[in-house]
Amino acid sequence: MNEFGFRTQDLVENPSTRLAVCLCLDVSPSMEGDPIEELNKGTALFFEALQKNELTKHSVEIAVVTFAGTAVARQNFGPVLQATAPSLNIEGGGTSLGEGVELSLDLLEERKKAYKLAGIEYFQPWLIIMTDGEPTDNSHLRVAPRAADLVQHKKLSVFPIGVGDDSDLETLQMFSPKRPPLRLKGLRFEEFFEFLGKSAERVSASNPGDTVPLDTEGISKWAEMET
Amino acid sequence: MAVKPSHLSDQLGRTARLVTRSGTAVNLREELGREGEGAIFRTEKPGYVAKVYQRDHADTSRRRKLEAMLAHPLDRAHPTSRGICWPLAILFDSQDRFRGYVMQEAKGRPMGRRLFVKTELQASFPTWDRRQLVNACITTLERIQFLHRANVLLGDINPENILVENESSVWLVDTDSYQIGQFPCPVGTAHFTPPELQDAHFGHVLRTPQHEAFAVATLVFMVLHLGKPPYAQRGGGSPIENIRTMEFPYPLGGRSRRNAPEGAWRFIWSNLTYALKEAFFETFDKSCRGEPRRTASDWLSLLHQYAHALDRGHVSRELFPASFKPVTRHAQDKFGAASDESGRSLMCAACGAPFVLSQREEDFFRSKGLSDPKRCKSCRSSNAPQPKHVIPPITQRQAQGRSGGGLHVPAPVPLRSISPSKAVKCAKKRAVGRPVRARTITSPTGQGDVVERFLQFLSRLFS
């Protein structure tokens, strides 16, 4: 057993190029009720789709970070076939978007190191940020430049998603200089995660460095396209 | 596969009916797959499929290339031709527009998905060991060699267009992208592209056999290493960057950079024949930049030689060997003291702990005419008693090594068993004047007993 433990056994036995996907999810009280229920259903479907698809099941790795007052890593990166979708609950203490993203970026960095150590190739990793309100602290001022810098250097792909009419897209924009934030239509988490799964499949079928066109037509199924 | 409504079929009209140049009707059935440039459909004739291009891909140059391919059909009498999905007829729609072509239906699943993920390989071929893996590689190379002999270069050799049904049935698909005559192969896969072509625009370049040879070598490497690309390594740049700089991480004799990736890959490499390793090294290492590369025929010879070594038990038959290949005396004599690895792991007959016999120590013992010490250094110096009986075989665990360089202590593994005929050969060499100490041989198959008794018998004969 090497120093990283069981999570790297797969890196040794499966030489497929990896796509690391980090879900950074708001679980503050405003998400209570239908929103968090739909979010849970959506993530469950996402995991299932990834596990079933021939390409993604050996290439995608997921981590799940939740944030409210503090940020918690619910699940660290590992083979998706061995992962189960977490069941998320509401937490209190505010909405610390910055802390959530910071923890996500830290997990991604750590995983990239493991890839490099094992000589595993990886696609540009994904950070999915989903939040329904305004952040209640200023941690994002500190963290957003870090994310933006990674995006500019093509080391990260950010999907910023605002949930509900009150979501603050301006703050989300700070993390994603290339991809504009999108507002989820109603609570269409399932459609969003379906789109994400199909996109993951396209990436898994590509070669690292390729520009993979995502299904932009499909986006209108779940997102309000803002002008 | 579920039948999906296809907008291509809609484009063609509800009957999805195409014709060949000679007017033969080809009716499309269910869609089998779809890529950027078109889709593959079954036809009403079993064993034959049609590739139908998207409107903007069905252009004149593509048609002319297909016509050139039709003008050079494969020799159908040759059994190898059966594994290559060469165009058989060009297809037109009711308005006489070029739409695609007919070919044989391939069987199997892409090599990249079937062989290159351990769990998939084990699920598909639970009984395979290296011997079948090498057979599959040979089957594939035979098809490539066949094409090369017909002056066709594949261009985009990669594990997604090689379909594996079993070790003796492999299908090459996407043949319409091949390079034939003046028609280039418009695509490529970075991993299989030689350093000198990494910046090229594939559609504007005619590849040479030397370019292709890099791809062939990469393919053979990846098959033998169960999907690991040759330039994937610990630290360093990405594999593509490493192709450009030709930073090849596997060792050959004294020439080595020791940053092969973690895991079984170093053991796999070690257990190849020297000739194979040399061939890979001379293709991939920066010290050999510009040198002519092995051809498909060369690789076939090397693979047959490797298969032979597998059959004889000279190298591990395991798909994922758990240890380095022990350095044989033969290798020592032939290649000098330098070996791939810095030491061999043995079991101490006195205290039972694993210990490493370094190259230097081994040289020392050889120079005194002695075989391997049976005890670790501390037991030797304290003169701990050797038990008379052989230590029972240790169950093999996956050896977890640390980063290379210096001594390296993998988990204890049994020594490779020597076949009785080889034992006789070795024993005879040592016959005159020197005592023969039977090596402590254990074997995972439990045949150690028999071999051990036979060797003791021999040693009594010659001492």
Distances in whole angstroms, Cα of residue A216 to Cα of each of A155, A184, B106, B356 = 21, 14, 33, 59
Residue B324's pLDDT is: 82
Average pLDDT score, chain B: 79
Judge whether A136 lies within some domain.
yes
Rounded Cα distance between A173 and B337, Å, is 63
Question: How far, CA to CA in Å, does A128 sit from each of A22, A34, A138, A193, B440?
Answer: 6, 20, 20, 10, 58
pLDDT at B276: 96
Q: What is the mean pLDDT of residues A183-207?
A: 87
Distance from CA of B67 to the nearest CA of A (A): 30
Residue pair B12/B54 in contact by the 8 Å Cβ criterion = no
Beta pairing class for B98-104 and B89-92: antiparallel
B209/A185: higher pLDDT: B209
Taking only residues 263 to 282 of chain B, the set having a beta carbon closer than 8 angstroms to any beta carbon of chain A reads: 263-265
User: In whole angstroms, what is the distance from residue B73 CA to residue B84 CA?
Assistant: 11
Contact A118, A16 (CB under 8 A): no
Q: What is the mean pLDDT of residues B242-258?
A: 83
pLDDT at B202 over 80: yes
The answer on pLDDT for A223 being more than 50 is: yes
Locate the chain A residue with the closest alpha carbon to B401: A2
pLDDT higher than threshold 80 for residue B81? yes
Percent of chain B with pLDDT over 90: 49
Domain B109-312 grouped into CATH 3.40.50.920: no
Indicate which CATH number applies to the domain containing A190: 3.40.50.410
Chain A and chain B share a number of CB contacts under 8 A equal to 64
* Nearest-CA distance A27 → chain B (Å): 36
Q: Hey, which of B223-227, B330-334, B376-380 has the most confident mean pLDDT? A: B223-227
Query: B92 forms bridges with which residues in the sheet?
Result: B19, B98
Structure tokens, B323: 């240890």
Is residue A9 one of the residues assigned to a domain?
no
Model confidence over B433-443: pLDDT tens digits? Answer: 444 343 433 33
Is B189 a residue whose pLDDT tops 50? yes
Task: Give the domain ranges of chain B.
Answer: 7-104, 109-312, 345-462
Q: Are A49 and A201 in contact (CB under 8 A)?
A: no
The pLDDT of residue B340 is above 50: no
pLDDT at B129 over 80: yes
Tens digits of residue pLDDT in B83-117: 999 999 999 998 889 999 999 999 999 999 999 98
pLDDT, position A164: 85
Asked if A33 reaches chain B (Cβ–Cβ under 8 Å), the answer is no
Q: Which chain B residues in 183-222 lie under 8 Å from chain A, judged by CB atoms?
A: 189-191
Instruction: Note down the domain range covering A119.
Output: 17-224
Tens of pLDDT along B48-64? 999 999 988 889 999 99
Q: Is residue A181 pLDDT above 60, yes or no? A: yes
Show residues of chain A in contact with B228, CB under 8 Å: 15, 119
Cα–Cα distance for residue pair B165/B21, rounded to 1 Å: 32
The pair phi, psi for residue B17, each rounded to 5°, is -115, 125
Any idea which of A163-167, B84-88, B313-317, B424-428 has the lowest mean pLDDT? Answer: B424-428
- B228 to each of A112, B19, B431, how far by Cα in Å? 18, 44, 45
> Going by CATH, does the domain composed of B7-104 fall within 3.30.200.20?
yes
> Is residue A60, in this structure, part of any structural domain at all?
yes
With a pLDDT cut of 70, the percent of chain B lying above it is: 71
Q: Which of A58, A119, A209 is the closest to B233 by Cβ? A: A119
Residues of B with Cβ-Cβ distance to A56 under 8 angstroms: none
Task: Examine the pLDDT at B408 and tell me if it is beyond 80.
Answer: no
